[in-house]
């Protein structure tokens, strides 16, 4: 099978013409963020904000042109629009100050990137909202730090950023050069969230193309490094935004959060499949709200279908990372701005999260070793 190279992809995209401008996408400088992972290709197409959905046929044509290449197994192209001059108001992305047109002057140009000094990016995802994804992401980040890893936490849940509140951090991030933002600090973890950049009261209405551009900037235009691990609290669900983020963020792995009931429903499996599709290793499943811990007597009662995640993980051949009980203390501490791992570092819940963190670190180490070399064939 032919190797997929940047040149071959750009060559294919040179054959796609923007009908509005009469020239091809590459010479117009519209292609950016090109990523290639095995046969999976991702890139963005920069269009003027007012074109919006009208550019959808162009996006499809670009995807098809690349998909037709020998060796390509999946293509995800997203439309991005810079909001030069403010544009959509509520949907203003951070530091979006490059004039439209020169963004991604060339996909091959070396990019300044805050993400370059991050050892591993780990996504925390769920098939649907409300299962405790953000709570798990916050506590996992704190537990990784407790295990000695330099840790950052990116709240990519731009529709409902909860990390500022959950990590008890207020204020606006500063920037030294007007381009790269300094992350905030939450209990020792470097933190960035759209919640710091837009007014909490402002309803955030994201037009499709802006989502990716905002997420990419939260990743790239923040002075993250050096970090061992960046935990990304993914937007809930398994749609296009999640898929592209999984592809462009060069994820080292993903942790799926599920409640005992949801695993039986298809939601968590959708999450699994999404990461498999883009070749991101699933580090494991966490069963959240696994059993009920009585706040008065400490007695444990199992919840209907408790253990479902462990069984399902076994069935799907995915590691089971652990179970976190439904405990009012977990809710109160994270809703109060000091997640349980920071609030009660010596308690049993912090120990459970640290156990999950250790497994995540072990799996990342194992992944970093890469595939074993093929055995030598000796012909006698």
Per CB under 6 A, residues contacting ligand ADP are: 126, 129-135, 162, 236, 288-289, 324, 326-327, 330-331, 334-335
For residue 37, whether the previous peptide bond is cis, meaning omega lies within 30 degrees of 0, is no
Which lies closer to ligand ADP via its Cβ, residue 13 or residue 122? 122
Q: How many helices (H) and strands (E) does the chain have?
A: 12, 14
Cβ at position 131, least distance to ligand ADP in Å:
4
Whether 168 contacts 174, CB under 8 Å = no
Q: Could you give the count of Cα atoms lying within 13 Å of 311 in the half-sphere of its Cβ?
A: 11
Assess contact for 189 and 153: CB atoms under 8 A.
Answer: yes
CB of 298 to ligand ADP, least distance (A): 15
Q: Smallest gap, in angstroms, from Cβ of residue 41 to ligand ADP?
A: 30
CA distance linking residue 267 with residue 258, whole number of Å: 8
- CB closer to ligand ADP out of 92 and 331: 331
Give 132 or 164: the residue with its C-beta nearer to ligand ADP: 132
Q: Which residues contact 31 (CB under 8 A, 6 or more apart)?
A: 10, 13, 25, 43, 44, 45, 46, 104, 107
Query: Shortest approach of ligand ADP to residue 155 CB, angstroms?
Result: 10
User: Whose Cβ is closer to ligand ADP: residue 129's or residue 367's?
Assistant: 129
CA dihedral (316, 229, 184, 181) in degrees, to 10, reads: -100
Burial track 107-143 (b if 16+ CB lie within 10 A, e otherwise): beeeeebbbeebebbbbbbbbbeebbbbbbbbbbbbb
Q: Nearer Cβ to ligand ADP, position 55 or 342?
A: 342
Nearer to ligand ADP, 43 or 353 (CB): 353
Least distance in Å: CB of 259 to ligand ADP? Answer: 9
Nearer to ligand ADP, 81 or 141 (CB): 141
Q: How far is the CB of 331 from ligand ADP (least distance, A)?
A: 3
Cβ proximity to ligand ADP, 119 vs 345, nearer residue: 345
Closer residue to ligand ADP in complex, CB, 76/151: 151
Cβ closer to ligand ADP: 211 or 330? 330
How far apart (Å, rounded) are the C-alpha atoms in residues 151 and 145?
6
Q: Which of 189, 187, 129, 139 is nearest to 161 (CA)?
A: 129
DSSP notation for 126-195: -SSTTSSHHHHHHHHHHHHHHTT--EEEEE--TTS--HHHHTT--S---BSSSSSBPPEEETTEEEEEGG
Q: In angstroms, what is the minimal distance from the CB of 178 to ligand ADP?
A: 32
Residue 86: left (phi > 0), alpha (psi -120 to 50), or beta? left
Closest distance of CB 289 from ligand ADP, Å: 5
In the bound complex, what is the minimum distance in angstroms from residue 220's beta carbon to ligand ADP?
24
Query: Among all residues, whose Cβ is closest to ligand ADP?
Result: 132
Question: Which ranges constitute the DSSP H helices of 179-323?
Answer: 208-220, 240-248, 260-264, 267-277, 308-316
Q: How far is the CB of 122 from ligand ADP (least distance, A)?
A: 16
Mapped onto helix, strand or coil, the DSSP state of residue 116 is: helix
């Amino acid at each position: 099978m032919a190797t997929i190279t940047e040149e071959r992809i750009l060559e294919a995209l040179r054959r796609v013409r923007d009908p509005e401008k009469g020239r091809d996408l590459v010479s117009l400088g519209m292609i950016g963020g090109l990523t290639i992972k095995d046969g999976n290709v991702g890139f963005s197409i920069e269009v003027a904000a007012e074109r919006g959905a009208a550019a959808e046929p162009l996006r499809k044509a670009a995807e098809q042109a690349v998909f037709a290449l020998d060796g390509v197994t999946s293509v995800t192209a997203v439309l991005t629009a810079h909001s030069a001059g403010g544009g959509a108001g509520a949907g203003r992305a951070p530091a979006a100050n490059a004039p439209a047109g020169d963004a991604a002057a060339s996909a091959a140009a070396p990019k300044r990137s805050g993400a370059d000094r991050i050892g591993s990016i780990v996504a925390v995802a769920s098939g649907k909202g409300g299962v405790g994804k953000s709570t798990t992401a916050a506590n996992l980040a704190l537990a990784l730090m407790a295990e000695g890893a330099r840790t950052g936490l990116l709240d990519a849940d731009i529709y409902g950023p909860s990390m500022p509140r959950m990590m008890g951090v207020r204020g606006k991030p500063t920037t030294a050069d007007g381009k790269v933002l300094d992350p905030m600090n939450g209990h020792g973890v470097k933190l960035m969230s759209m919640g710091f950049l837009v007014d909490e009261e402002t309803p955030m209405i994201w037009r499709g193309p802006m989502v990716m551009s905002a997420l990419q900037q939260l990743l790239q235009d923040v002075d993250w490094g050096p970090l061992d691990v960046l935990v990304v609290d993914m937007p809930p669900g398994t749609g296009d935004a999640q898929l592209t983020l999984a592809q462009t963020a060069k994820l080292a792995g993903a942790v799926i959060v599920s409640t005992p009931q949801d695993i039986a429903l298809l939601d968590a499996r959708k999450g699994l499949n999404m990461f498999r599709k883009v070749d991101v290793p699933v580090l494991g499943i966490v069963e959240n709200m696994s059993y009920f811990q009585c706040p008065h007597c400490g007695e444990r009662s199992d919840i209907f279908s408790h253990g479902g995640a462990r069984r399902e993980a076994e069935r799907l051949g995915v590691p089971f990372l652990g179970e976190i009980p439904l405990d009012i203390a977990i809710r109160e501490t994270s809703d109060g701005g000091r997640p349980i791992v920071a609030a009660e570092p010596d308690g049993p819940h912090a120990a459970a999260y640290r156990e999950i963190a250790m497994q995540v670190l072990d799996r990342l180490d194992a992944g970093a070793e890469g595939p074993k070399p093929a055995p030598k064939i000796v012909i006698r």
